Structure 1
Amino acid sequence: MKPSLPVQPKHIAILRLSALGDVCNLVPTVRALQRQWPDARITWIIGKGEHSLLAGLSGVEFVVYDKSTGLAGMRALWRQLADTRFDVLLHMQQAIRASVLSLGLKANVRVGYDKARAKDAQHWFTQYQLAPHSNAHVLESFMDFARVLGVEDDRLEWDLPISSTALNEARVISGEAPYLVINPCSNVRLRNFRNWSVEGYASVIEHAWVHHGLKSVLTGGGSVQERAIGDHIETLCQPDSVINAIGGTSLKGVLALIDQARAVIAPDTGPIHMANAVGTPALGLYASTNPMRAAPYCWRDFAVNAYPEAVRTYLHKSVEDVNWGQRVRHPSAMMLIKADDVIAKLDALLAHTAVTASVKEHP
């Protein structure tokens, strides 16, 4: 017999470990749950790096799982929560690792994705599934978990915490002049293929400097690949037009840089969704992933969309003929994006948000 959903949950568990962009897209669901049940406890089981971004999020108790600790880390987390029983567990991670982790958690009912959206047989690990929602954006899929519990007020709120320390870190890096943030690299992992060309970024940086008086601050992690790409971009640009901060910031510092930026340009990676979460104009670059599913939610109209062309060129199909969320895993897919298209979108984005930017800079 399928268990019933709680009408007035007192303790809600969220299981979502990764990634940076996804946890940013999940925060509005947390805020919707808080509006509906302001006295309910919310415990979020989250990854280590993701916690470093969201630490201090109001009204949320975080339990951190470091995936590098493997089964030993799972057992430690199970012991930590051994005396805790949740009214409902919202299983929002479509990965077998997370499903195994969920087995050691005590909950009256476990809610997961419908079969069409579930990956790695996630529906085997839950008792209650979401209603089908075809062609949903990632943010909307998360919000479906609040809706299934009866939440109707699904307006978008984030209110991410940014400390004065992080703001000072950003100020030291960026100086006083207005700037763009460009995060050129996505996660360094096998067959990711989300990175655009260094020449393309250099062209956009030149245009922003000459035509808009905007410096560009490069952000990213400290991997060898990211540092090499940042250094290469820097060599192609005028010295005054770019600040290379790749590998030189904390994650909260990147969030602060993004919060104070005029706009953010990035492929499908965490910082483009961080921009969306703090209300900074976001220009996403999409060819290997579908922007209708994964672009920064509030700025989807300004995403550069070469995904249909990539599907035609490398999968020999139309967008309508591939599964929702289908990736184009080809190393040349992102090269279908033209610098002129990015520049045109940037001009439109800056023009569209000029008044808003003035208000943000001079409250």
Structure 2
Amino acid sequence: MVSQFSEPQSICILRLSAIGDVCHAVATVQAIQKQWPNTKITWVIGRVEKKLVNGLSGVNFVEFEKYTGLAGFVRFRKQIKHLKFDILLNMQGSFRASLISTQINAVEKWGFNRKNTREGQWLFTNRQIPFLKTPHVAEGFLAFAKAIGVGADYQLNWKMPVSPTARKWCEERLAGAGRYIIISPSASKPERNWLTERYAEMVKYSQEKGFAVVICGGPSPFERELAEEIEKQSGSAIINLVGETDLQQMLALLEKAELLIAPDTGPAHMAVTVQTPVIGLYVHSNPERTGPYLYRHYVVSHYEALLKAQTGKSVAENSWGARVKGIGLMEHITVEAVKSMFDKVIEDTTNQSLSIHQA
């Protein structure tokens, strides 16, 4: 199935959330812009997520606040009803997104292949992208662009907007810190968090290697307490910015960091968009599907072994999105494994820097 438009005049992107998925979607938007610089792009996005990408060049944003219920739906309908598009790319498989898509006036409404989605999205589309057997989420999004005409050999890359204000804040906040790494210790689900004492060990190790340590996170009491406990157990001074950064400031911090250590969480994917290496800590989800896209080779994972133990089947024999279930499983990731990966990342980035200078 191909698009009837050889060069679409207008495209609507529908991807509301979450932060990591919005990061993936940015690369698809920019692939479309590279192919068709004159195509007008509108992105239907969540209010919080818009703050991350608001400076994205050549994109008009329409907010949908998913927590406002019927009132939010009515408000969105008023914003969108006068707009017409050649193509809608619905890159969110939820039933809510499908309902939203009914209010978007588009000739072609593209969705995931029926085998790659759920919640009946195919009932709300008139085009489907090809079936993908083992895609990373970012590749699944790029498949929308390729389905409508972006070159089949296009490779994912990002040019993320970071505001000058955020960069200035970062420079002032970290003045005198020197080279630093970031730890973003808290995931959206507690069972995905690594052990506090092991984060503390990595604080000490990073400092022994000559790096300052910045800890970032949201403003919740849990995240603040976690950062304080990590600092206490490390016995070292850290730069605690938990609850102090907005999304643009977080991007600016990541942009200048040597590396990020994090579980499966939004900042890991934000780091990818500014080309900062990520040591991802994965147990519950498949890192080849949801890991930090450019840095999956730096992931420390026990997903494969635990999936085999729980199901009796390998990754290839399970469904591609199969998850490992249970609490306390992150203890399988050892400090030694993360230290070893830390050394590898620093060695690789040092060698890359030398190669650039020698060239």
Query: Which TM-score tier does this pair reach, normalised by the shorter chain?
Result: over 0.9
Per-residue deviation, 1:313: 3.7
Map of 2:259 onto structure 1? 263
The two structures have a TM-score, normalised by structure 1, of 0.93
Structure 2: where are the runs of 5+ without partners?
Answer: none
Q: Distance in 1 between matches of 2:289 and 2:258?
A: 25
CA distance in 2, matches of 1:257, 1:357: 20
Distance 1:6 1:88 in 2: 9
Q: Which amino acid aligns with 2:272?
A: N
2:244 aligned partner: 248
197-206 or 162-171, which moves further after superposition?
A: 162-171
Between 196-205 and 2-11, the greater mean CA deviation after superposition: 2-11
Instruction: State the Cα distance separating 1:354 from its structure 2 match.
Output: 1.1
**Could you tell me how far 1:235 is from its partner in structure 2?**
0.7
> Does residue 277 in structure 1 map to residue 278 in structure 2?
no
CA distance in 2, matches of 1:360, 1:179: 21
Letter in 1 for 2:196: V
Report the Cα distance in structure 2 between the residues aligned to 1:359 and 1:53, rounded to whole angstroms.
32
Please state how far the C-alpha of 1:327 moved relative to its aligned partner.
Answer: 1.8
Q: Could you say which residue in structure 2 is the equivalent of 1:302?
A: 298
Cα distance, 1:126 vs structure 2? 1.0
Equivalent position SS for 1:110: strand
The corresponding residue for 1:41 is 40
Q: Indicate the residue corresponding to 1:238 in structure 2.
A: 235
Q: Give the deviation of 1:71 after TM superposition.
A: 2.0
For residues 1-363 of structure 1, the aligned pairs below 5 Å read 5-152=4-151, 154-176=154-176, 177-188=178-189, 193-210=191-208, 212-240=209-237, 242-356=238-352
CA distance in 2, matches of 1:360, 1:166: 27
Offset from partner CA, 1:130-184 (integer Å, 9 cap, x none)? 1111010111101100110111052333211112211122223333311001100
C-alpha deviations, 1:58-112, integer Å up to 9, x for none?
1111111111112211111111111111100000001111111111111101000
What SS class does the counterpart of residue 321 from structure 1 fall into?
A: coil
Check whether the contact 1:16–1:44 (CA below 8 A) recurs between aligned residues. yes
Q: Is the 8 A contact 1:314 1:330 kept in 2?
A: no
Q: 2:65 is matched by which residue type in structure 1?
A: D
What do the CA deviations read for 1:242-293 (whole angstroms, capped 9, x no partner)?
2111111111111100001011111111111111110111111111111111
Identical counterparts, % of pairs: 38
Amino acid at match of 2:191: F
C-alpha contact (below 8 Å) 1:29/1:154 kept by paired residues: no
Q: For 1:64 and 1:326, locate their aligned partners in 2 and report how far apart those are by CA, in whole Å.
A: 32
> Secondary structure of the equivalent of 1:353?
helix
SS of structure 2 residue aligned to 1:28:
helix
Alpha-carbon separation, structure 2, partners of 1:57 and 1:313: 44
Q: TM-score, normalised by structure 2?
A: 0.94
CA shift for structure 1 position 231 = 1.3
| C-alpha distance in structure 2 between counterparts of 1:169 and 1:87, whole Å | 41
Matched residue pairs, number?
355
After TM superposition, give the deviation of residue 359 of structure 1 in Å: 9.2
Provide the rounded CA distance (Å) in 2 between the counterparts of 1:15 and 1:25: 13
